[in-house]
Structure formats: structure tokens, C-alpha cells
Amino acid sequence: MHVVVYHNPKCSKSMQTLRLLESYGIAPEIIEYLHTPPSEDELGRILAALAMEPRDLMRRTEPEYQRLRLDDPDLLRAALIRALHMHPRLIGTTHCDRRHPGRHRPTTGKRTGNTGITR
């Protein structure tokens, strides 16, 4: 199993996620999303796998959220995903993406705590 963690080293939940994975003997691929944000296509895939809408993933307290008026109910999903890509600080909460090599497959299972890790 291949696990990808979109990681923020300054986030305590993200650090807890890495420790939890290590405790299970999992060595994830780590992507520091503030430096290497996921593409719009990848964000769409992640949101679909997590059964989430773009606003569910957003940090609503970030200045960009207010400045870009992302609470506007008329904004299209694509515009919200673009905002997440262009302003990765908006990406909130820690999520793991479990992949099977050679194909994309939604993560399934029960969430454990606030980490977004599924088993």
C-alpha cells in the first residue's frame, strides 16, 4: 500500500498523523503542500475520495477566505478548488491519501480521530 500525506510541518495534527502512521509501520510519501500544492485535478480526486466538498476542507479563518469571499454560495465548485490550489494555506485538517500503485482508488474505511486517516 502506498500512502501519501499532504503535510504541514508546523501543524501538530499533521505531526501526529506521521507518528501514528509510523507506529503502524507505514512510511508514507510526504508532500509539503504549502510548497507543493496539489493540482486542481488532484484536489478534485482527493475531495471525491473523502466525500467532501471544497469548503469542507477550507480553513475559514484564513485571511484569504475572507478576502476572496469564498463564503459566497454562488461560487462554483471549480472556483473553490482553484482557490485551494492557488492558496494552499486554505487547506485545513490533515488527510492521508491511500493509493494502490498504478491506479487511483478512493480511500475507504473508518476515520480515526481528527487525523483523517482511514483504515
Total count of residues recorded for the chain: 119
User: Taking phi first (over 0 means left), then psi (-120 to 50 degrees means alpha), and beta for anything else, what does residue 50 get?
Assistant: alpha
Choose the catalytic residue: 1, 3, 5, 11. 11
Tell me, what DSSP letter sits at residue 90? Answer: G
- Return all residues near 37 (Cβ < 8 A) that are at least 6 apart: 84, 85, 86, 88, 91
CB 32 within 8 A of CB 8: yes
Verify whether residue 11 is a known catalytic residue: yes
Catalytic residues: 11
